[in-house]
Structure 1
């Protein structure tokens, strides 16, 4: 009997984890496609931007960039500022993506807020017998596919249907709240979660809603680097501390 390729069990295991992302991306991706159509762009623009940029909020900002005078340096700096949080995501997944060969290239390219949340919460309770690399790759592929094809659908429908995008942004906020609660319930210790809440809340109060993200990430990164050893003793079992291995 021919042995089943490892990618198919990984797909069956990964898909249920991505269903909350599907629910959020269908609405927001569709709204993004409609928004670009209303702004005068043909249907393939939201599809191509979603496929190439895959940056969520950056894609919405890119609409105004495309309609503005050519300013590559300002565009680069603004894009870097908006997406700088991915630097921290990448650092935190450095060991998780180690040793995955060709898969890690798309894992790095396709990393977004939602994919990071799923991989971070699922990597410690990976279903038995499922290939870790294929599992994470399917999560990344599925999440991007939800966004890209929802944007394409919105671009195709465009102005044919009356569609009010007001309030849809809360869909993603609600999804992140649910993911945070799930991680909180599944973790025995909550030091890092409390650190994130305190850092974000403090920086929000000091810098305001438009500028708190990067200071908050710097505070969190500094605290994690300075407190790495105590946190490892706090979170990891003694066997993993002795071997220096990551708990998966």
Structure 2
């Protein structure tokens, strides 16, 4: 699938922007994106409802829908009911990937076993995790069904490279793709004002691209990564998808590395 999908965090919250947001999602799909990432948490389900309206005219089998279950709902007793509610809002009878949004108080083994059971119902095609660090993934892998996790979704961008120290290599070795959320950062997130950095601007000029496109191209330059940027602007959405065609050179990557070096020690997992 294309390495750039559509994120929907903060979408669906305002009725006044609903039509604009639906148009943005559809612009992304028309430009070639096939992955849409959402969650029951986003707007208390309003994001899923928005996605459901946006995808209604499209061939469902050509889309890859990701949603997430909240930790408090990730028990054997509650998960399926919350999945059913997500499916109803999305207007579909299955999601392609269902993620455990972050770790909570329910035993990981119980959550994993229920996620795996739900694959037998046809309501989810695969399952994975989100906001998991290396120790979480190692614990997951020790569970009988843990190795069936299809992906891990973490915050990752040029200004937030902590997972490169150990987690990203572990996922590569274990064939677990990374879904990168906030791949162009979130404003001045974590002190990294990425879009105005001179190295980013230099690479952007060399590729006749925007800084945002360079940040996306950097986020997906490893083959195991899917980036899910969010925008409610149709023009920006089309540019996001087009960034998947940019190929950064060795010199580009070296320049960006000097501006934002890879971690030299283990760092706490960045979370938004």
**TM-score w.r.t. length of structure 2:** 0.26
Higher Rg: 1
Normalized per residue, the structure richer in helix is: 1
Normalized per residue, the structure richer in strand is: 2
Q: Which has the higher contact order (CA 8 A, sep 6+)?
A: 1
**TM-score w.r.t. length of structure 1:** 0.28
